[in-house]
């Protein structure tokens, strides 16, 4: 099928390449000329495992192309909209400027019977508001939220847990060629639906809410375990053992119970804030008032990590060499948007420490935003002469491949703060390190 994808960021670029990889003919459209130039050469503009390969393949096959020209959308049957919805400057609500601009730019190129499939994460009510503009062109708007995780984006797009389509109330009505909008989307995603992926067809509001409530639930799970970490810290309990134990209950599950410096990234923080803001607009602020607490617990963990480093170094950070292992908001990503790792590094720097930071993928992005920190590519070079080491992104390079003995051969001090509870505490202690976890004795 011919498809267009408007917006070629994390979501759109992966979606475009993934749709080409399952056999569709796809044009990706973005206003950013540099991004389009890179993608057209088959270069991934960000680090995402597997993306490079499917981009190169798609372009070589002739099924995938990128352009800044919106008129290239004409002729596609389905137009995916995957532009960003960042947090508004000066507020918690989502900024919908790019979504509105994408729809307005697309409408003149729509043909009757086309489908516009919104993928961006939007406040509930957005699709209802945009639908008349799309139907004025004889096309149908559906909302088809995206649940991809960075680092697993290709896999999550080709083989998602579930597919959700919010369709207009009148979508029994077939399009020009006799299929409903849901039928057309079913055809787009037939390889994964064929493998048994649930395809849930619902109304606009439910589809929009599925996405934000999924992220609110995940954020709540992480902050729940971090709240338990706070209690563990004053009682001497070990939050990792606690998480293992409660995680054995299938109703709870162990995933997303990793206590540490908390969640960041381009989605969870802004999505829970936008959800609160939207709920307030709807007069139901109290229904999700707990999300403010989720946010607060999350942010307190960064303070806690900084305190742990400071206390371990005798209360003063001034002129102390601190090596920060990690800058990305999570491993397998070069994304530093709202990264707790980078935030901790910046705070330590602000308190007078000499901060050296390393990361396998995110240094370039981090340096652009925080040029004041000392960036070192090589992990071992970064560890040299450190008075204390803090792990803030659980890359395998730190979690598995760095032995405490090897680290000790490089550093000056023997203090390690495990901001992700990802190290083997006993092994580090046995090698002579003073180990501090988050919510662990
Ligand atoms: C998230 C959702 O998982 C995804 O479904 C949605 O489409 C977009 O938002 P992502 O931002 O890629 O995906 O990251 P995710 O894997 O959810 O991790 C978010 C943050 O939570 C990271 O900073 C991670 O380090 C942190 N985290 C995750 C924890 O602190 N503890 C955990 O147990 C799990």
pLDDT value of residue 7: 98
CA of 228 relative to ligand 1 center, distance in Å? 19
Q: Whose CA is nearest to atom 5 of ligand 1?
A: 147
pLDDT confidence band for 184 (50 / 70 / 90): very high
Q: What 3-state DSSP class applies to 87?
A: strand
Residue 153 CA, closest ligand 1 atom number:
12
pLDDT of residue 169: 85
- For atom 18 of ligand 1, which residue has the closest CA? 263
C-alpha of residue 263 to centroid of ligand 1, in Å:
6
pLDDT of 173 strictly over 60: no
pLDDT of res. 176: 56
State the CATH architecture for 2-202.
Answer: 3-Layer(aba) Sandwich (3.40)
Tell me whether domains 2-202 and 237-441 share a fold.
yes
Mutate to test the pocket of ligand 1, among 94, 266, 330 (most ligand atoms within 8 A of CB): 330
pLDDT interval class at 171 (50, 70, 90): low
Tokens of 45: 């503009």
Superfamily, domain 237-441: NAD(P)-binding Rossmann-like Domain (3.40.50.720)
Other residues' Cβ atoms within 10 Å of the Cβ of residue 347 = 18
Predicted pLDDT at 320:
97
pLDDT tens digit string along 33-86?
999 999 999 999 999 999 999 999 999 999 999 999 999 999 999 999 999 999
What's residue 174's pLDDT?
Answer: 58
Residue 422 annotated in active site: no
Segment 295-313 mean pLDDT: 98
| Chain mean pLDDT for the chain | 96
151 Cα nearest atom in ligand 1:
12
293, pLDDT greater than 90: yes
The pair of structure tokens assigned to 281 is 């607009």
pLDDT confidence of residue 367: 98
Residue with token string 């995933």 = 255
| DSSP β-bridge partners for residue 391 | 325, 418
Of 76, 227, 267, 324, the catalytic one is: 267
What is the C-alpha to C-alpha distance for residues 69 and 29, in angstroms, rounded to an integer?
7
Comparing CA positions, the residue from 362, 305, 352, 431 lying closest to residue 151 is 362
pLDDT of residue 302: 98
Q: Coil, helix or strand for 143?
A: strand
Contact 99, 12 (CB under 8 A): no
Phi, psi (5° rounding) for residue 29? Answer: -125, 130
H helix count then E strand count, the chain: 18, 14
pLDDT of the residue at 170: 76
Q: Which residues line ligand 1 (CB under 6 A)?
A: 147-150, 215, 218, 222, 256-258, 260, 262-265, 267-268, 329-330
Q: Tell me, what DSSP letter sits at residue 292?
A: H
Q: Above 60 in pLDDT, residue 420? A: yes
Strands of the sheet containing 354-358, edge to edge, are 374-375, 354-358, 321-325, 388-391, 415-418, 434-436
Rg (the chain; Cα; Å): 23
Check pLDDT > 90 for residue 431: yes
When pLDDT is cut at 50, 70 and 90, the band that residue 179 belongs to is confident
User: In degrees rounded to 5, what are phi and psi of residue 3?
Assistant: -130, 150
Model pLDDT, residue 343? 98
Cβ–Cβ < 8 Å for 108, 138: no
Q: What is the mean pLDDT of residues 290-295?
A: 98
**What pLDDT score was predicted for residue 131?**
97
Q: Which residues of 179-189 are buried (b: 16+ CB within 10 A; e: fewer)?
A: bbbbebbbebb
The full set of domain ranges for the chain reads: 2-202, 237-441
Phi, psi of 343 (to 5 degrees): -60, -45
Cβ count near 296 (within 10 Å): 10
* Six-digit token string for 162: 């579930």
């Amino acid at each position: 099928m011919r498809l267009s994808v408007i917006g070629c960021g994390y979501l759109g670029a992966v979606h475009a390449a993934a749709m080409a990889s399952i056999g569709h003919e796809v044009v990706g459209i973005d206003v950013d000329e540099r991004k389009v130039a890179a993608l057209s050469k088959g270069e991934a503009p960000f680090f995402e495992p597997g993306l490079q390969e499917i981009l190169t393949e798609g372009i070589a096959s002739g099924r995938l192309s990128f352009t800044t020209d919106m008129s290239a959308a004409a002729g596609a049957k389905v137009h995916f909209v995957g532009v960003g919805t960042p947090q508004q400057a000066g507020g918690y609500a989502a900024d919908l400027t790019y979504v509105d601009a994408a729809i307005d730019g697309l409408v003149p190129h729509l043909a009757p019977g086309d489908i516009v499939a919104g993928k961006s994460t939007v406040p509930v009510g957005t699709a209802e508001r945009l639908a008349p503009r799309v139907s004025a062109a004889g096309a149908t708007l559906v909302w088809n939220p995206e649940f991809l995780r960075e680092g697993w984006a290709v896999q999550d797009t080709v083989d998602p847990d579930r597919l959700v389509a919010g369709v207009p109330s009148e979508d029994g009505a077939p399009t020009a060629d006799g299929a409903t909008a849901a039928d057309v989307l079913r055809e787009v995603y037939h390889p994964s639906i064929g493998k048994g992926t649930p395809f849930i067809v619902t109304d606009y509001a439910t589809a929009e809410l599925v996405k934000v409530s999924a992220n609110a639930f995940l954020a709540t799970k992480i902050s729940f375990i971090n709240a338990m970490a706070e209690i563990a810290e004053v009682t001497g309990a070990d939050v990792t053992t606690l998480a293992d134990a409660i995680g054995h209950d299938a109703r709870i599950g162990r995933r997303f119970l990793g206590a540490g410096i908390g969640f960041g990234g381009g989605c969870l923080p802004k999505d829970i804030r936008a959800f609160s803001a939207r709920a307030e607009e709807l007069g139901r602020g109290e229904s999700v008032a707990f999300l403010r607490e989720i946010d607060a617990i999350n942010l307190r963990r960064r303070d806690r990590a900084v305190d742990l480093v400071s206390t371990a170094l005798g209360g003063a950070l001034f002129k102390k060499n601190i090596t920060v292992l990690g800058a990305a908001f999570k491993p397998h990503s070069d994304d530093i948007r709202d990264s707790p790792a980078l935030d901790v590094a910046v705070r330590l720097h602000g308190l007078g420490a000499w901060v050296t930071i390393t990361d396998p993928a995110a240094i370039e992005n981090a340096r652009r935003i925080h040029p004041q920190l000392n960036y070192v590519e090589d992990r071992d070079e970064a560890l040299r002469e450190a008075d204390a080491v803090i792990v803030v992104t659980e890359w395998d390079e730190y979690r598995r491949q760095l032995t405490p003995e090897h680290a000790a051969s490089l550093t000056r001090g023997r203090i390690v703060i495990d901001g992700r509870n990802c190290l083997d505490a006993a092994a580090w202690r046995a090698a002579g390190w003073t180990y501090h976890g988050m919510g662990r004795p």
